[in-house]
Amino acid sequence: MFRLILFAVSALLIAIATIVCYPLYRIIRKCDQKKGDWFALHFVQRGFAMFIWFCGVKVTYKGLENLPEDGDAVLFASNHRSLFDAILTYRAFKGLTGNLSKKELKSYPIIGWWIRSIYGVLLDRKDRRQGMECVLECIRLINSGISILAYPEGTRSHVEGELLMFHKGTFKIATKPGVRIVPVAVSGTGDIFDDHRPYIKARKAIVEFLPPVNTAGLSQDELNEIHNIVRDRIQECLNINTPEVM
């Protein structure tokens, strides 16, 4: 209960900061789009850092050398266990990074504002046509130099260290423009919150960025299997990291 109260306090502080910072972001972006984009990303990263600290999460980042610099757009393909996956992962990004998220987040005040400000693409998982439009929007962002974070499982896994099947369509975001895929393995986040809602527990977590997978120049057969290649790499990493956080 104590950590839940601290989480609520941090959410309140972010809400208060948003009253000042969101209008300021809109003014800055109107004058200089790139500066506005960086303002939004840094605000979100600092907000997530506050959540991590207040919740007592001890996160270890591995493979930071595999993060691209700003303007070198990639697809980050991550496993998905918890609400905290994005909170921990976004904290490490060096460049502008959008995300493929469920459309329901749009309706949340403050959260919806900042998701759109960092190039969130909101997906209706029940609408196949809209799903394709989201993929095309992600490709457009990648072509403009903005990376995308996506969760190819499509929903959260409920077993720590185990992956669901990956959806092939997610990987078109990388294969169509021929950019690299950076697999992301997140361990330990389920026990922070999702496994015992509504309570939050101070736990250890690991976020590991794996070496990029190049898509340019691959044969059609290789492209057809790219989702399984990335999934296998993430699973191998989870097999190593999960025991460290249990």
**Looking at the domain assignment, is residue 25 inside a domain?**
no
What pLDDT score was predicted for residue 196?
86
Reply yes or no on whether the pLDDT at 165 is more than 90. Answer: yes
Structural domain harbouring 102: 58-245
Q: What is the pLDDT of residues 138-155, one digit of tens each?
A: 999 999 999 999 999 988
CA triple 92-212-241, angle to 5 deg = 60
Residue 154 belongs to domain with CATH number: 3.40.1130.10
Reply yes or no on whether the pLDDT at 108 is more than 80. Answer: no
What pLDDT score was predicted for residue 3?
85
Q: What are the residues whose beta carbons fall under 8 Å from the beta carbon of 8, sequence distance 6 or more? A: none
Q: How confident is the model at residue 109 (pLDDT cuts 50, 70, 90)?
A: confident
Quick one: average pLDDT of 158-178? Answer: 94
Q: How confident is the model at residue 55 (pLDDT cuts 50, 70, 90)?
A: very high
**Looking at the domain assignment, is residue 83 inside a domain?**
yes
Point out which residues pair with 120 in neighbouring strands. Answer: 99
**Looking at the domain assignment, is residue 14 inside a domain?**
no
**Looking at the domain assignment, is residue 38 inside a domain?**
no
What pLDDT score was predicted for residue 61?
98
**Looking at the domain assignment, is residue 36 inside a domain?**
no
| Residue 192 · residue 165 · CB < 8 Å | no
Reply yes or no on whether the pLDDT at 127 is more than 80. Answer: no
Reply yes or no on whether the pLDDT at 27 is more than 90. Answer: yes
Pair of tokens at residue 245: 């956080």
Alpha-carbon distances, residue 3 vs 6, 12, 57, 81, 200 (angstroms): 5, 14, 10, 19, 5
Report how far Cα 219 is from the mean position of its chain's Cα atoms. 28
What pLDDT score was predicted for residue 24?
97
Reply yes or no on whether the pLDDT at 126 is more than 90. Answer: no
Range scoring the smallest mean pLDDT among 4-13, 22-31, 205-214: 4-13
**Looking at the domain assignment, is residue 223 inside a domain?**
yes
Reply yes or no on whether the pLDDT at 102 is more than 90. Answer: no
Reply yes or no on whether the pLDDT at 200 is more than 80. Answer: yes
SS (H, E, C) the chain: CHHHHHHHHHHHHHHHHHHHHHHHHHHHHHHCHHHHHHHHHHHHHHHHHHHHHHCCCEEEEECHHHCCCCCCCCEEEECCCCCHHHHHHHCCCCCCEEEEEEHHHHHCCCHHHHHHHCCEEEECCCCHHHHHHHHHHHHHHHHCCCEEEECCCCCCCCCCCCCCCCCHHHHHHHHCCCCCEEEEEEECCCCCCHHHCCCCCCCEEEEEECCCECCCCCCHHHHHCHHHHHHHHHHHHHHHHHHHHC
**Looking at the domain assignment, is residue 174 inside a domain?**
yes
What pLDDT score was predicted for residue 234?
98
By percentage, how much of the chain surpasses pLDDT 90? 76
Q: Over the chain, what is the mean pLDDT?
A: 92
What phi, psi does 58 have (nearest 5°)?
-100, 100
Q: How confident is the model at residue 70 (pLDDT cuts 50, 70, 90)?
A: confident
Domain total in the chain: 1
- Of the candidates 125, 119, 128, the one whose C-alpha atom is nearest the C-alpha of residue 99 is 119
**Looking at the domain assignment, is residue 149 inside a domain?**
yes
Quick one: average pLDDT of 104-124? Answer: 84
Please state whether the peptide bond connecting residue 198 to the residue before it is cis, i.e. omega within 30 degrees of 0: yes
